[in-house]
Amino acid sequence: MSILIDEKTNVLVQGITGRDGSFHARQMVRDGTKIVAGVTPGKGGKKLDEIPVYDSVIDAQKDHRIDATVIFVPARFAAAAVKEAADADIPLIITITEGVPVLEMLEAYHYVRSRGLRMIGPNCPGLISPGKCKIGIMPYHIHKPGNIGVISRSGTLTYEVVYNLTNAGMGQSTCIGIGGDPVIGTNFIDALELFEADPDTAGVVVIGEIGGDDEEQAAEFIRSRVSKPVVGFISGRTAPPGKRMGHAGAIISGGKGTPEAKVQAFEDAGVPVASKPDEIPGLLKDKL
């Protein structure tokens, strides 16, 4: 089993004719994802390979059942694309685009929530249920079907952790890159709830980073609400004081968001924290 997506998920690609959208749409199809349509305003009636392209989400919806959409449009149009998908009541909206203005995404976030829909991202790699469906930019070949859930603020660290899990014979149920911006649609707690309810996920890896207090909140949730084994990793632990990190959400202020606070919160909740990604499989095996 998996969470959010499976082999029956019908996917729409917004921005499908752009450089990134077209490249990753082809990769997703190659990796087994059911992409039923794409959207680029002004390109309606064209095709990307065998995928029909429409001028709007509503136009695509007239011809296809759409379970999820992935957004590759430029940053200045991304929030509008999210709202367009929400207006069409698409239940899962995955925003890959980075550099979206925070105030625009804050408005889009509340708009999506007000309609009872789920957004993942922005500034994220998407998600994958190995052997079933991939929506986003994760490299398929390093994944393996299994029963370990992965939640991460960092795209590239997700890949490194998954690579180590796969090499250790520990396949994944679903891997979610939640994104590193200050405003994201799905946080650690949201994803932990889904994995806790999934009977085929046996354990979870949480990959955090310095800045904000999402990891501390997740630790408290794990302590009180999660029965499955969880292992953590915090990136940026060796960053010099005052060093700017790559993610907009990786900001330490007022003494909050330090790596020490996050590690302590996880350990207090009974979550062992790896100092290096290749330690994660061993720590997880000890708890399974």
Among all residues, which ones are annotated catalytic? 247
132-164: b (≥16 Cβ within 10 Å) or e: bbbbbbbeeebbbebbbbbbbbbbebbbbbbbb
CA distance 121 to 103: 15
Distance, C-alpha 245 to centroid of its chain = 19
Cβ contacts of 96 within 8 Å, gap of 6 or more: 20, 24, 70, 71, 72, 121, 122, 123, 124, 125, 126, 136, 137
31-46: b (≥16 Cβ within 10 Å) or e: bebebbbbbbeebeee
- What residues form DSSP beta bridges with 17? none
